Chain A
Amino acid sequence: MLGFLLRRFGTVLLTALCLTFIVFFLTNLPPNLEKLAKTEAGSRISDEEVASWLDKNGYSSPVLVRYGEWLGVVPGWTREADGVKTGRCIAPGMEPADAPRYCGIFQGDWGFSTFFKSPVSEKLGYHLGLTGILMFWVMVVMVPVSLIIGVLAGMREGSKLDRTLSTVSIASTATPEYVSGVILIAVFASSMFGLKWFKGTATGAMDHITFDNFFLPVITIALYGIGYIARMTRASMTEVMTAQYIRTARLKGVSFKNVVMKHALRNALIAPFTVIMLQFPWLLNGVVIVESLFSYKGFGWTLVQAAGNNDINLLLGCSVVAVVVVLVTQLISDIGYVYLNPRIRIS
């Protein structure tokens, strides 16, 4: 078990390094840097001025060195011009002698957001918190509903109930967030049918969550996931229901209700657990779409702003968070699967 954990952990670390390097490379391509120089130093500067600005701000060293600096494993750059010493780790107003040698994300320094004019870690923390609340409510709605639908459908395969619920789940997987969101807003929050039950934006929910400003975004994200998890639960449930021990239980006279509740359910819920964990990366997509649609300023909204405004440090921060979320949930799902299913042996 320990060897398995260590090996998995090693792969995760390697993947995280590769992914962050790819993002770093793509966000630090020459055109991006040129655009950054122009937004920071004025849009009409000449090519030589761009080059000198980039050199003065430490962007002229090779990309691998800069990646190391950003990670915090290579000493931050320093420049000396006109007797004033500047450097990556020297904050304005700080004595150059006091500055640390390394300052990257390993040291907790995520850089400075050029668009929001504030430190990335501060900005990310605030917006991640908002998304956390959204995700929490999505999970609260999505997991029970999808499990119930899946179990009900899989309990008697081929019945009327199964067909109806399966069609509902197919329809829900066929409706991406931007479609269901638009339809829900039009029906429940606009003058189309005159049903103004909910609010079409969730901006108010950032300070104060109420049922009518938070229901639509939550349900929009949940809807897309429900169908998928329900189908997985159904598949797992139908498989369990045909197992020998279920037949034995039925034959010895256990009632159908008890068979489902006591014998089938526990075994049928192992597979959906993995699926729910692996659903997180998809939820991340949904979050970006829904937050843009409902103007809820969470993580997804920040990502869109960072990407749209060439805010390199913030975008890198966002991708670190996204990549970590994806990899950690994969790891949890692997470990949880082994833990829940004793039949799996790891060599």
Chain B
Amino acid sequence: MENLGSGGIIVAVVKQFWPVWIALALTFAVSFRFKRRLGLYGKLFDSTIAMIGFALVMFWVFTAIFADMIVTYDVLAQISQMKNKVPGTATPDGAGWYLLGGDHLGRDVFSRMVMGSRVVIIIAPFATVFAFMVGITLGLPAGYYGGRLDAFLSFLANLILAFPVILLFYLLVTREIVETGVPQYMAVVLFLFPIAFLLVLINSRYYVTPVLRNTLVLAVVIVGGYIYLSLVSEDGTKIAVLPNAIDLIHMPGNILIVFVSVVFVNAPTVFRIVRGIVLDIKTRDYVAAGQTRGERPWYIMIWEILPNARGPLIVDFCLRIGYTTILLGTLGFFGLGLTPESPDWGSTINAGRKLITIAQHPAIVPALALMSLVLGLNLLADGLREESLKD
């Protein structure tokens, strides 16, 4: 088979992404059709910038979902004749092409880039959600009560923020520290927050109907508690509470550590944002009205203040996923946490940059992928901000 020219490469790559195009077209068609009934999400489709951002983000989300159908080769398969070959080179067996070339070990750059999106699309949003749960659970009372609690929590947050991120990563993710179980202990603490948040949420809402509240609380404790234990414990490490047989969620140790350190770095910023908004909102009349009615503090915090803070929080959520993506890339770039053969973008950029004078595409392809995802998230956040300011 012949090698492909640049036109041929583009056609082949576009063709390879067919499930993504179909899914994107469907999403946009449905959203356009019902855009007036979809609230803030529908308003996105009034702004070109927001639509571009949304399209970029959804492109990578669908790529991550359909990655198995898109890849042309196994991400770990090495063909030694294909080392550092330029994009569009035909494989020696004549079955196909390395669409975006081969890397220093003769693996397909295109397939690795596609599979790498999975690592980011799974970890980044989840880590951001966790960071938000921690930030909200601590930021609400800090802003609402003020005083000593606020001083103490703000001091802690500033302490973490004063740490240079890379130093923190090096301290948390190196093998010696992992052996002592420090990141796992941090996971034990950090993962408690989502459960605590849900419990407070339910308790403050259904306090007056004890039966319903008790059932819901019980459900959260059992389901959440099981997921919690299953996430935290892993056989053969410092924390192995659950026996292997009923431990359903197996998070490979290093992914857990990456996850924890990313949450740890993001949570203080969220805390500061939430605290700032609460300080502003708690002077409003409807909060005073709630207090006069005799509502309990947590009800006011979660059901009166939080919904009114959603605008800035949603915008920050988008930005923060982008920032988390950058952090994950940084970790990969320094070879921390994830295994070297992992196809995530940071690690592949790191592997590719070492030989960049010989072959550029192994580093450029994941770099552009990462950039387009973060750009999409930032554009989306910008569009959301503009649209939410309009009313």
Tell me the A residues contacting B by CB distance below 8 Å.
Answer: 11, 14-15, 18-19, 23, 26-27, 29-32, 35, 166-167, 170-171, 173-176, 178-179, 181-183, 185-186, 189-192, 200, 281, 284-285, 288-289, 292-293, 300, 303-304, 307-308, 310, 315, 318-319, 322-323, 326-327, 330
Determine the residue in chain B with the shortest Cβ distance to A31. B176
**B165 within 8 A of partner (CB):** yes
| Sample of 6 further A-B pairs with CB below 8 A, known A19-B162, A29-B180 | A173-B378, A185-B353, A186-B363, A186-B364, A292-B334, A307-B171
Decide if A26 touches B164 in the complex (CB within 8 Å). Answer: no
Of B49, B167, B182, B333, most A-chain CB atoms within 10 Å: B167
Decide if A26 touches B171 in the complex (CB within 8 Å). Answer: yes
Contact partners of B330 in chain A: CB under 8 A: 176, 178, 285, 289
Decide if A174 touches B356 in the complex (CB within 8 Å). Answer: no
Contact partners of A181 in chain B: CB under 8 A: 353
Q: What are 28 A-B interface contacts by the 8 Å CB criterion?
A: A19-B159, A29-B176, A167-B49, A174-B322, A174-B371, A174-B374, A176-B374, A178-B330, A178-B333, A178-B367, A179-B367, A179-B370, A181-B353, A182-B349, A182-B363, A185-B353, A189-B357, A192-B360, A285-B164, A289-B330, A303-B167, A307-B170, A307-B174, A319-B164, A319-B167, A322-B164, A322-B167, A326-B162
Tell me the complex Cα distance, A171–B334, Å: 24
Contact A15/B159 with A30-B180, A31-B179, A179-B329 known, Cβ cut-off 8 Å: yes
Tell me the complex Cα distance, A29–B177, Å: 7
Q: Which of B125-170 contact A (CB under 8 A)?
A: 155, 158-159, 162-167, 170
Tell me the B residues contacting A by CB distance below 8 Å.
Answer: 49, 155, 158-159, 162-167, 170-172, 174, 176-177, 179-180, 182, 322, 326, 329-330, 333-334, 346, 349-350, 352-353, 356-357, 360, 363-364, 367-368, 370-371, 374-375, 377-379, 382
Decide if B166 touches A285 in the complex (CB within 8 Å). Answer: yes
Tell me the complex Cα distance, A285–B356, Å: 22
Tell me the complex Cα distance, A285–B161, Å: 13
Tell me the complex Cα distance, A282–B119, Å: 25
Decide if A26 touches B356 in the complex (CB within 8 Å). Answer: no
Tell me the complex Cα distance, A174–B158, Å: 25
Query: What are the 8 A-B residue pairs with the smallest beta carbon separation, nearest first?
Result: A307-B170, A31-B176, A174-B375, A186-B360, A174-B374, A179-B367, A192-B360, A176-B326
Decide if A284 touches B164 in the complex (CB within 8 Å). Answer: yes
Decide if B353 touches A11 in the complex (CB within 8 Å). Answer: no
Decide if B364 touches A183 in the complex (CB within 8 Å). Answer: yes
Tell me the complex Cα distance, A181–B382, Å: 25
Tell me the complex Cα distance, A176–B167, Å: 17
Tell me the complex Cα distance, A289–B177, Å: 22
A234 to chain B, nearest CB (A): 12
Tell me the complex Cα distance, A166–B379, Å: 10
Tell me the complex Cα distance, A174–B368, Å: 11
Determine the residue in chain B with the shortest Cβ distance to A186. B360
Tell me the complex Cα distance, A191–B167, Å: 35
Contact partners of B159 in chain A: CB under 8 A: 15, 18-19
Determine the residue in chain B with the shortest Cβ distance to A30. B180
Tell me the complex Cα distance, A32–B175, Å: 9
Tell me the complex Cα distance, A179–B329, Å: 9
Decide if B357 touches A170 in the complex (CB within 8 Å). Answer: no
Contact partners of A175 in chain B: CB under 8 A: 371, 374-375
Contact partners of A318 in chain B: CB under 8 A: 167
Contact partners of A26 in chain B: CB under 8 A: 171-172, 177, 182
Contact partners of A200 in chain B: CB under 8 A: 356-357
Q: Which of B162, B179, B352, B360 contacts A327 (CB 8 A)?
A: B162
Contact partners of A327 in chain B: CB under 8 A: 162
Contact A288/B166 with A173-B378, A174-B322, A178-B333 known, Cβ cut-off 8 Å: yes
Contact partners of A185 in chain B: CB under 8 A: 353, 356
Contact partners of B155 in chain A: CB under 8 A: 11, 14-15
Q: Which of A14, A166, A170, A186 contacts B375 (CB 8 A)?
A: A170
Decide if B334 touches A35 in the complex (CB within 8 Å). Answer: no
Tell me the complex Cα distance, A303–B326, Å: 20
B300 to chain A, nearest CB (A): 27
